[in-house]
Structure 1
Amino acid sequence: MLPQLSDVVVISVEVSDAVVTVRARTRSGVPAGCTGCGQLSTWRHSRYARCLSDVTLAGRPLLIDLSVRRLYCENTTCPKVTFTEQVPGLTVRYQRRTPRLQGLVEDVAVVLAGRGGSRMLRILNIRLSRVAVLSQLMRVPLPPLVTPRVLGVDDFALYGGTYGTLLVDATTRLPLTLWEGRDAERLGRWLRDHPGVEVACRDGSLAYRQGIATGAPDAVQVSDRFHLWQALARRVQDIASAHRGCLPAALPPISDAAPASVEEPLENTTADTRAERHARRLFEAVQALIRSGRSHSSVARELGLNRRTVSKYARARTWQEVVRRPPRKFSTLDPYLDYLQQRWDEGQHSAKILHEELQAKGYLGHYQRVKMAVAPLRRGLPLDEPRERPPSPREAARWITTHPHRRTPHINDRMPRLLESCPDLRTAHDLVRRFAAMLDNRDATSLPEWLEDLANTGLAPLTGLARALREDRDAVAQGITTPYNSGVNEGRITDVKLQKRIMAGRAGVRLLRHRVVLIAHLRRRFADRPTASPR
């Protein structure tokens, strides 16, 4: 039942409601190795008692009162005169916990950190404060760092406006280290201290590009394809924002006789709501200051706005472009509006009866919603039928970047009208599809031609992207053609955020590094263990 006591002689076992106490002693005449030189000795000097805590037994703490020998070292050249024998699997020098209990404390500390680990150990009837749990955690040595052949580099939000850098072995998918900041100098120093990196996966960061070039000049740099696609999608969204007036063209026309006009300017629309009046005031103030020759930073300081907000209002052609329009929420009553109109025309004006009839047809909503829906009919007004809103710039960008085979019939119906009404969005759509074909086929031969067409579009977001990609063209080509990417980095960054939240965001960099590295190896160790199938 207690295999850790197989090498000692058990004298007695006392069981109480609070604790289980085992009294034992080591066997006499059995040679023990000196802790200084390793030579075996049986020459006893004396005995003394050690009190050891072990894992709980039947829910009770287990204490082991162990009598051990102090022996003379028979090696005359050894600096130790006497030493205390150690029992494998039961005792460790300078430790009052058995290896089993110490391993349990360390694993709980790695998984749950200080306060959470202390609570979990209390459930297991092991009393340790959160400070003691953190102390045991920091005593756990990190696994030896092996220089990876394929290195992943990415940044993550540490706290506030401070960012950190995470390095991951892309082959084993295990984190290597992390630190505060994302400067090129420290990354280059780490690479020089750990030579042997052949491939480095990163995003489009200039700092990481320079750090890899200085620290590992022979390494092949790979610009991650996800970040490339994300950068292109953001530029498409910027184009859609600049052409917000074209987005209503995606909606189906109201009738063939009177199609909805999408080219009509929106400057004459009055600001009715509070948000619209606020947007109009800010738009007029920003535009007036920009026309006077002021910079965006000075306008932001004078108006008390963020510089990005000022840039957004300065780029807009009308104040309607910057108004936040919340999307209309779908109502569960919408499929039954035609039936409500039919029953109202037949003379049924009781909202209660109409609600009961809708329930029989499968409507699960509340009576109050039906009552509010028929209220316009009582005043001689038509039903408030659902009106489809035009797509937002983000939705339009998602339509363009979605693969044609994965688009829904709803998107396929509206996309041709949108692209026909806006040549700039059609240009962006064609360029996106060409880049997607390069990614699908892993063929970068047409990349120079694509970058040339991107730069010649005359669209500021795309020309800026073309300039950035040209500076990093070799890494972009590697990202398109090679199987290496930063996907494992993104997964590890998600894990870093989880560990930060477990510690309520109060973890220092040293503690966070310790937990991120150790918990990854702990999961790998337990994931490799075979599990017994239930009988």
Structure 2
Amino acid sequence: MRIDACSTAAGAACSDCGRESSRVHSSYLRFPADVPSGGRRVVLHLRVRRFFCPEPSCERRTFAEQMAGLTRRHSRWTERLRSTLAAVGLALAGRAGARMAQVFGVSISRSAVLRLLDALPEPEVPTPRVVGVDEYAARKGRVYGTVLVDVETRRPVGLLPDREASSLAAWLAKRPGIEVTCRDRAPFFAEGATAGAPQAVQAADRWHLWNNLGDAAERAVARHRQCLRVLVPDREENADEPTPPEEEAHSPWRSDRFANRIRARHATVHALLEAGHSRRSIGRQLHMTHRTVKSLADAARPEDLFRGQWQHNRTSVLDEHKPYLDGRWDEGCTNAWTPWEEIVPLGYRGSYGRVSAYLWESAPHRGRSPHSHRHPAW
């Protein structure tokens, strides 16, 4: 669809100096696209005039008139079509926005949609009352920044290129209306919040409160797991019976289920390598990361991959002192503190807790429970 139009104004203002001019230099045609109508493409044929600038000191000798609300310099779209495409880009971004624009008859690339979004002015963000401060990774382990979120509306209000206390303090100082800052326990965030918003109350956010509580509970249970262990029957009574696999390991991480899974994955990877597949194709077929495939391919035996709690035969600094501890127990010394003090001069460099844990583990099979100067605090 073609629409012919022209301006009836007596003159126009210079785009540089702003002086009005009615002296026409020439005219030409512009063909900006408009919002489609009834599924048909709309193109305007505008007769645009060029004027002489009346200001002698102005560097621009001639200028073209612009129709307010309709055209702008060097634009092939009307302002109405530009705002429509920008709204589509805000809702769907690049590729999806370009596909949606083609539905109603406008051909545009994803890059053009993103350029429209970049040209939009920054929205006016009111000063938040409660601001959340946390870090984000531009490159994990190397480059970190600071993200600031309005806790009440749950919308980001600022991004800082680093996580320095001075950057956070400068951002907070420009917004004196902040009343509460929610942050983690990082020292640089504490310093920045104190310097930039001394009037604000500092609090830990909900996620870090629950995370810290969970970590503390896990450490407490791990430290006193011997207190929670259910006593098992004496092994000497059932010596003739085979030991079930689940009783061979005190921790579920030491069960054969995880070891067998590693052995199966190791065999599959090496079979694919022998068949001529590359490591990249193996990762795609088995849905593994490049690092996982590399560790499985580099290991000659699956047992080489058993680390940490998967190792059934781990060595301990207490191993060479266990005969001495067993002898002291048989002599009647059930106070864990006493043998610990005795093996320290003999070269033991571990903690008292490890000695106490060993005696607690062997106590059900010896018939007596060890005494300790330390009791778990709940």
Question: Is 1:142 equivalent to 2:122 in the alignment?
Answer: yes
Contact 1:34–1:41 (Cα < 8 Å) also in 2: yes
Q: 2:22 aligns with which of 36, 39, 42?
A: 42
Partners of 1:281 and 1:78 lie apart in 2 by: 79
Question: Is 1:115 equivalent to 2:86 in the alignment?
Answer: no
The 5 Å alignment of 1:22-33 reads 22-27=3-8, 29-33=9-13
When residues 36 and 274 of structure 1 are mapped into structure 2, their CA distance, relative to the original with a 3 A threshold, is: closer
Question: Is 1:92 equivalent to 2:60 in the alignment?
Answer: no
Amino acid aligned to 2:121: P
Task: Provide the residue aligned with 2:361 in structure 1.
Answer: none
Question: Is 1:264 equivalent to 2:247 in the alignment?
Answer: no
Task: Return the offset for 1:71.
Answer: 2.4
Partners of 2:316 and 2:40 lie apart in 1 by: 75
Task: Return the offset for 1:91.
Answer: 0.5
Question: Is 1:230 equivalent to 2:198 in the alignment?
Answer: no
Contact 2:181–2:200 (Cα < 8 Å) also in 1: yes
TM-score by length of 1: 0.42
Q: Deviations over 1:90-147 (max 9, x none)?
A: 1112222111221222233333333333323233332222233323322223235655
When residues 81 and 157 of structure 1 are mapped into structure 2, their CA distance, relative to the original with a 3 A threshold, is: closer
Question: Is 1:191 equivalent to 2:172 in the alignment?
Answer: yes
Task: Return the offset for 1:239.
Answer: 3.2
Partners of 2:163 and 2:317 lie apart in 1 by: 34
Task: Return the offset for 1:198.
Answer: 4.2
Task: Return the offset for 1:457.
Answer: 8.6
Q: Which has the higher helix share?
A: 1
Q: 1:54 aligns with which of 19, 22, 34?
A: 34
Contact 1:32–1:85 (Cα < 8 Å) also in 2: yes
Contact 1:90–1:98 (Cα < 8 Å) also in 2: yes
Contact 2:49–2:65 (Cα < 8 Å) also in 1: yes
Which runs of no fewer than 5 residues in structure 1 stay unpaired? 1-19, 249-261, 294-313, 319-455, 463-535
Task: Return the offset for 1:274.
Answer: 3.8
Task: Provide the residue aligned with 1:282 in structure 2.
Answer: 310
When residues 134 and 291 of structure 1 are mapped into structure 2, their CA distance, relative to the original with a 3 A threshold, is: farther
Task: Return the offset for 1:74.
Answer: 4.3
The one of the two structures with greater contact order (alpha-carbon pairs below 8 A, sep at least 6) is 1
Partners of 1:35 and 1:281 lie apart in 2 by: 74
**How many pairs align?**
270
Partners of 1:21 and 1:290 lie apart in 2 by: 89
When residues 123 and 243 of structure 1 are mapped into structure 2, their CA distance, relative to the original with a 3 A threshold, is: farther
Q: 1:205 aligns with which of 186, 199, 205?
A: 186
Task: Provide the residue aligned with 2:328 in structure 1.
Answer: none
When residues 160 and 82 of structure 1 are mapped into structure 2, their CA distance, relative to the original with a 3 A threshold, is: same
When residues 281 and 152 of structure 1 are mapped into structure 2, their CA distance, relative to the original with a 3 A threshold, is: closer
Which structure would you say has the larger Rg? 2
Amino acid aligned to 1:264: V
* Secondary structure, aligned partner of 1:188: helix
Task: Return the offset for 1:213.
Answer: 2.3
Which runs of no fewer than 5 residues in structure 2 stay unpaired? 236-242, 250-254, 261-305, 321-353, 359-373
Amino acid aligned to 1:282: W
Q: Deviations over 1:453-501 (max 9, x none)?
A: xxx9955xx8xxxxxxxxxxxxxxxxxxxxxxxxxxxxxxxxxxxxxxx
Partners of 2:177 and 2:41 lie apart in 1 by: 50
Q: 1:178 aligns with which of 159, 163, 167?
A: 159
Task: Provide the residue aligned with 1:101 in structure 2.
Answer: 81
Contact 2:147–2:159 (Cα < 8 Å) also in 1: yes
Task: Provide the residue aligned with 2:131 in structure 1.
Answer: 151
Task: Return the offset for 1:164.
Answer: 4.0
Task: Return the offset for 1:85.
Answer: 1.8
Task: Return the offset for 1:167.
Answer: 1.0
Amino acid aligned to 1:215: G
When residues 240 and 289 of structure 1 are mapped into structure 2, their CA distance, relative to the original with a 3 A threshold, is: closer
Amino acid aligned to 1:54: D
TM-score by length of 2: 0.57
Contact 1:21–1:65 (Cα < 8 Å) also in 2: yes
Contact 1:151–1:170 (Cα < 8 Å) also in 2: yes
When residues 40 and 170 of structure 1 are mapped into structure 2, their CA distance, relative to the original with a 3 A threshold, is: farther
Partners of 2:91 and 2:80 lie apart in 1 by: 17
Calculate percent identity across the aligned residue pairs: 37
Contact 2:147–2:158 (Cα < 8 Å) also in 1: yes
The 5 Å alignment of 1:156-171 reads 156=136, 158=138, 160-161=140-141, 163-170=144-151
Partners of 1:266 and 1:40 lie apart in 2 by: 104
Partners of 2:24 and 2:308 lie apart in 1 by: 93
Contact 1:245–1:263 (Cα < 8 Å) also in 2: no
Amino acid aligned to 1:176: V
